[in-house]
Amino acid sequence: MTRAAQAERTRAAILTTARRLFATHGYDATSLHTIADEMDVTKANVYYYFRTKTAILEALLDNSVTYFDPLLTETAQLKGKRARAEHLVAGFVDQVVANRALSPLGQTHPSVRRNERINAEPARLATTAMRLLYGDEPTDDQRAAWFLASDVGPVVAGLPHLTHDELREVLRRLCLRVLRV
């Protein structure tokens, strides 16, 4: 394996491992030592790829943004609130299920919320999504519905026995019911 390929491998492994541990134990309760140990490298090696712990979190959120941006663009091209809700929910749920064992790192997480810079992009995406579903001036009930539906982590955690397909269907029905106020 070339050195460049090895580098890409390690970098990706750090992100995967970090994401899993952040989701399980929380960002603050996960030390770089733990991340490194889990993938059988040293802490110093992790620092070779990410200058700070925060940088790892930022990289993870960038991945989310990269996924949701095109989804929102597609959704905007559909006509009718019903069709938009269905497309948006389907895309959202697919990503949640795909990262099931990892669980999503939502805007809710204190580690995300307290960093202005990290928080900016996800907040922008949330605003855009609400516009698509509810127009320029969502009611408080609509905004509440959005905040609830975008945080399905506890639901995923509560239903570990479902297959991926079952979970996907449950989440789709649930989110659509919540969002169509």
What is the binding site for a second copy (CB under 8 A)?
A: 24-26, 28-29, 106-111, 113-114, 140-141, 143-155, 157-159, 162, 166, 170-171, 173-174, 177-178, 181
Q: Please identify, using beta-carbon distances, which residue of 44 and 136 lies nearer to DNA.
A: 44
Q: Match 């929910």 to its residue by tokens.
A: 89
Q: Identify which of 56, 58, 128 has the alpha carbon closest to the alpha carbon of residue 88.
A: 128
From the list a second copy, DNA, none, partner contacted by residue 107 (C-beta under 5 to 8 A by kind): a second copy
Radius of gyration of the chain (CA): 18
From the list a second copy, DNA, none, partner contacted by residue 45 (C-beta under 5 to 8 A by kind): DNA
Q: Which of 111-147 are b and which e, b meaning 16 or more Cβ less than 10 Å from the residue's Cβ?
A: bbeeeeebeebbeebbebbbebbbeeebeeebeebbe
Taking CB under 7 A as the criterion, the residue among 16, 20, 38, 54 binding DNA is 54
From the list a second copy, DNA, none, partner contacted by residue 40 (C-beta under 5 to 8 A by kind): DNA
